[in-house]
Chain A
């Protein structure tokens, strides 16, 4: 079974440019999450999809960030325009549909974004 895959693994862009990160979850996982870790600080929640629907986007920092999950499969996270403080590692995770207790989330390798 393939794991969670994220593209690209690294991205260096200039301030003001646009970047799109992609996440391919494990096949059949309804839940998809985006997290971010900035400058070695805490890993912070960005948003949660159940299939194609956004369940919770309370962690999105501002309207420069746009996440989509068309068709309930892969997801993209677009940053437009990028700012210096957006630099960090962006993690994607997926998990099975809950039936009672929470199931574990499987994480991708992360995308390291550097805005210069």
Chain B
């Protein structure tokens, strides 16, 4: 069965500093993996996706994630946080008939 674990429920960073949101996955095979973002009162927007091509995946708004099979991780990073990055982020793994969501990480950006 597939599952994802987001290790931090809240992350706080200062504007202009790096962002690291952690995700570990569990899968019986090499999975597809996604990161979604939800801004307040908005829908879920796809940030980036890994589908067994390049292990370093670039997404929108300067985010990227690296698939590490040996560590079963798919951490989301950004070199420099912007105020507009404040949102909730979800790591997602598909399997069977559904997409399995992590519990979400709320990112606060301090001016």
Q: Which residues of A contact B (CB under 8 A)?
A: 4, 33, 35, 42-45, 48, 55-56, 59, 91, 93, 101-102, 104-110
* A48 in complex: contacting residue of B42, B43, B97, B104, CB < 8 Å: B97
How far apart sit A33 and B44, CA to CA, in the bound complex (Å)? 13
CB-defined contacts of A106 to chain B, threshold 8 Å: 46
Bound together, the chains give a CA A56 to CA B99 distance in angstroms of: 12
Cα–Cα, bound, A56→B97 (Å): 6
Q: A104-B46, A107-B44 are in contact. List 15 more A-B contacts (CB 8 A).
A: A4-B43, A42-B103, A43-B90, A45-B100, A48-B97, A48-B98, A56-B96, A56-B98, A91-B43, A93-B99, A101-B51, A101-B52, A104-B49, A107-B45, A110-B43
Dominant secondary structure of chain B at its interface with chain A: strand
Complex formed: what's the CA distance from A48 to B103 in Å? Answer: 20
Q: Which residue of A lies closest to B34 (CB)?
A: A104
Q: Scoring B residues 91 to 108 as 1 if CB is less than 8 Å from chain A, else 0, what string do you get?
A: 000101111110110000
What is the total of A-B residue contacts with beta carbons within 8 Å? Answer: 45
Residue among B44, B96, B103 with the highest chain A CB neighbour number at 10 A: B44
Interface of A is mostly: strand
Contacts of B24 in A (CB 8 A): none
> What is the size, in residues, of chain B's interface with A at 8 Å between Cβ atoms?
21
A104–B94 Cα distance when bound, in Å, is 9
Inter-chain contact B101/A102, CB cutoff 8 Å: no
B98 in complex: contacting residue of A42, A45, A104, A109, CB < 8 Å? A45
Q: List 26 A-B contacts (CB under 8 A).
A: A4-B43, A33-B99, A35-B101, A42-B103, A42-B104, A43-B90, A43-B101, A43-B104, A44-B101, A45-B99, A45-B100, A48-B97, A48-B98, A56-B98, A59-B98, A91-B43, A91-B44, A93-B99, A101-B32, A101-B52, A102-B32, A104-B49, A105-B99, A106-B46, A109-B43, A110-B43
**Nearest chain A CB to B11 CB, angstrom units:** 16
Q: Which residues of B contact A59 (CB under 8 A)?
A: 98
How far, in angstroms, from A91 to B88 measured CA to CA in the complex?
Answer: 15
* B71 CB, nearest partner CB in chain A, Å: 21
